[in-house]
Structures are given as C-alpha cells and as structure tokens.
Amino acid sequence: MRSSEPPANRPPSVDVLARSLAPTGLPHAVCVDIARDAIAAGDPASATQRALDFSRTLLMPVINATGVLLHTNLGRAPIAVAQPARPINVEFDLATGERGSRQTAVGQLYAKLCGAEAAMVVNNNAAAVMLVLAALAYDRGVVVSRGESVEIGGAFRVPEVMEQSGATLVDVGTTNRTRLSDYARAISRAGANVALAMKVHPSNFRVEGFVEDTSIAELATLSVPVVADIGSGLIDSNCPWLGGPPPAWLAGEPAARQSLEAGAALVTFSGDKLLGGPQAGIIVGRRDCVERCARHPLARALRPGGLVLAALQATALAYLDRSAASTIPFWRMVATPLAELEQRAIAICSTAGTGRPAAMQALPGAGSAPGVSMPSYGIIIDADRLVALRSWPTPIIARVREGRTYLDLRSVESGDDGAVAEALASPTAPG
C-alpha cells in the first residue's frame, strides 16, 4: 500500500513556509518571496532569519547613542509626526473659498521668525540654493569666494549646483583669503552680467591660520544683491527660546535673523538641522526676490507636501511661543543639564549591572557648528557591543573606540534609558 505522506526530505510548500513567517509582521506577499528564496537556496530553515534580516532593511525608530545630535544617517533632527487622516488646507484659502498658495501659512511664520519680508519652503536646502540661483541668476554670473566653493555631505558641490541652475560661477579671492575688493573687482569687470554675490557656510570644511573672509555686511555694500546660504538653520544667534545666554558652542554660527539684518537679500537654510524640524529648504528675505523664486517653474517641482508643511508650521509655532527648548527634541537634548545626564548614566549602569559612567563630548552634527562640541555624559562598556546593540527590537546605535563601546546620553531621550539598560544587561542580541 502506497503511503500518502510526502518524503521526509521534501521541502515544505512555499505557502506553508510563508504562513509560518506571519509573526514577523511582514506582509504575506513579502513572506512568500522570502520563503521561495529560502527553498530555492535549499535551506528552508533560514526563512525566519531571512525575514528578520529583511525587516532590518526597513525604516524603523532607533536609539541614537552616538552623541551626534543631528546624525545625518539617522535622519538629522528627530521629530514627532502626528497628522489626522483628514484633508488640510494646503492650497485652499479659507477666507475666500478659492485656491490659495501652499507657501502662505508656513511662509508668513518663518518670515516673522527671521524678521524677513517674505519666506517660502522647498524640499531641502540644496533645492533652495538651486531655485534661488535659477530664479535670480540664470545665464548670469554669481561671485563666490574660492574658500566657500565647497563640497559638503551627499556630494553637494557648489560649482555643480550652480551649473545645474543655469548660473555661472565667478570665483574670487583665494582658498584662504578673500577680501571685499576681490568681489568688487569681479563685478566691475563683468558689469551687468553678474547677478548676485553669494556667501556659503562651509559646513564641515574649515581653513585655519592665515585666513580672511568678507562679512555679509561688507558684501551688502556691493552693487548686486547678496544671498547667504547659512546651511544649518540657526534662526537667531541670541537663542531667545532658551531663556538664557546662547550656548558657547554656537559662537560664530551664522543665523538667519542676523544675516538679514546685516544686509542679505535672501538667506537659505535647512529645516532638519539647528531648526530642529523636518527635512526642508527655507528661503527668507526680500519680498521681490522670494516672489521671483515662487514664480519660477522649478518651484513646483521642488515644493514640499502637506506633512512637511504641517511639521514646519508646528516647529515655527514652538519658536514663536518660546516653547522650543522643551518641545523640539534637538533643543531639549541641548538644554539637558550635565548633572542630569550623569545621574542617568549612573542609574543605567546600576540597573544593567555593567558599564561605567564617564564624561564625554557630544557634537551638534550635520555640518552645524563645525569643529565644536558640548559637554556630555554617557557609559563605557569594555567590549565591542555594536552588533548586539543594533540587533535589539529598537536598535541602539553607539560607537566604538579602541575596543570599547561608548553610549553618549545627550542624544538619547530619557524615556529610552530602560531599553538601553536592558540591552546592556545582556551581552548578546535577543532571540
């Protein structure tokens, strides 16, 4: 009599194996592909690990214990996103019942914050710079110091952005020294063919020693408008939302309000750096210049969606009502007293039964305030635990130096201390 049982070495069906992966939370269609790959590899038992590995390729919350507050690889400024599943008046004027501009609501807030006549928003600061150049300097020259014609993160190169915008880069001065006379001479030689003078925040690039640059106030005496790309998005160098003097590590960081007061016609900056909001590029300044940018065909291609606009609005309102220090995560981390960080480190080590508290130096990150740091406190583990920490349900991202693992608590929300302690208590990854 022939048995109805399949041979013991026959692999399971794709459907059965895929259904066994349901606890991973992945959609069934994805589980089917994973099951099929595992069977084709002759290793059906690997399906669960393959599913877990796939899950780790998806976006998920992590705990940033690197001490880099604006970590580019971790999305820069952390923000909470909460949006009701309802339509919002992105381009609808509630007063007239007619179509409106998506720039109105957020634009007026950032103009007020920065002391500008007008403002508009695009999807990142590279886009803001390109739009300004395309709208105001297409087929004309833009004078830039050689020391500011830099490449920053993500292969953002000033000469290439200039080229894509249709403007022509006019290098002036030298890498380490550029004077007002260098700009004036270039403008005089080119005449009407120069549209703008541009000052670029060099981000992570610095020249020290025998150096000289030209301030926005000096550039504002030239015969062409000045555009200042301040990059990191500090709104006001006085930091009035902190309720005290600005942090020492911000000394020398260019700010939007002061750049406009110095005479810049336009200022561009990122939304997800020192501003503490979502990824965006913000353009503030003279109304006529902003309006020319808004009318340019590129503005539609570079415009942000409703989610970004809502997040930017919430960020601006936090500054305006002076609650930014407590409601914007970046500034909350900055304002945390050192003594509080030390006590948290001691408590985590006590709970975990391992590690030792230690003073550290945190960094703003993302090219903001290059070369400076702020006092911090964290935990040192005398072993390399990076892989195990990354493998926890909420991955913990730390750093290793000389075989020791460092977890800096200035970039960790206090509500995550329990998860950090649990992970440190186990020398291996869960599961």
Q: What is the CATH number of the domain that holds 372?
A: 3.90.1150.180
Amino acid 240: pLDDT: 94
* Whether residues 34 and 148 fall in one domain: no
Amino acid 210: pLDDT: 61
Return the closest-CA partner of residue 417 out of 386, 375, 387, 377.
Answer: 377
Query: Would 72 be classed as within a structural domain?
Result: yes
* Whether residues 180 and 243 fall in one domain: yes
Query: Would 14 be classed as within a structural domain?
Result: no
**Domains identified in the chain, total number:** 3
Radius of gyration of the chain (CA): 26
Amino acid 429: pLDDT: 67
Residue type, 373: S
Domain region containing 40: 21-55
Amino acid 60: pLDDT: 95
According to DSSP, the β-strands at 141-145 and 168-172 are parallel
Query: Would 193 be classed as within a structural domain?
Result: yes
* Whether residues 376 and 290 fall in one domain: no
Provide the sign of the torsion angle of the four alpha carbons 77, 66, 336, 255, taken in this order.
negative
Amino acid 157: pLDDT: 79
Digit-by-digit pLDDT tens for the chain (431 residues) are 444 444 557 788 999 999 999 999 999 999 999 999 999 999 999 999 999 999 999 999 999 999 999 999 999 999 988 888 999 999 999 999 999 999 999 999 999 999 999 999 999 999 999 999 999 999 999 999 988 877 766 667 788 888 889 999 999 988 788 899 998 999 988 777 999 999 998 765 666 666 778 899 999 999 999 999 998 899 999 999 998 889 988 988 999 999 999 999 999 999 999 999 999 999 999 999 999 999 999 999 999 999 999 999 999 999 999 999 999 999 999 999 999 999 999 999 999 999 999 999 999 988 777 778 999 999 999 999 999 999 999 999 999 999 999 999 999 999 999 999 999 998 776 75
* Whether residues 43 and 73 fall in one domain: no
* Whether residues 318 and 335 fall in one domain: no
Query: Would 6 be classed as within a structural domain?
Result: no
Helices (H), 41-171: 47-55, 104-114, 125-137, 158-165
3-state secondary structure of 357: strand
Contact (Cβ atoms closer than 8 angstroms) between residue 98 and residue 250: no
* Whether residues 370 and 350 fall in one domain: yes
* Whether residues 337 and 316 fall in one domain: no
* Whether residues 288 and 391 fall in one domain: no
Query: Which one-letter DSSP state was computed for residue 365?
Result: B
How far apart are alpha carbons 35 and 15 in whole angstroms?
A: 8
* Whether residues 38 and 173 fall in one domain: no
The enclosing domain of 185 has a CATH number of 3.40.640.10
Query: Would 215 be classed as within a structural domain?
Result: yes
According to DSSP, the β-strands at 356-362 and 374-381 are antiparallel
* Whether residues 266 and 397 fall in one domain: no
How far apart are alpha carbons 149 and 90 in whole angstroms?
A: 36
According to DSSP, the β-strands at 156-157 and 151-152 are antiparallel
What Cα–Cα distance (Å) separates residue 232 from each residue in 28, 97, 101, 180? 42, 37, 26, 24
Amino acid 160: pLDDT: 86
Query: Would 343 be classed as within a structural domain?
Result: yes
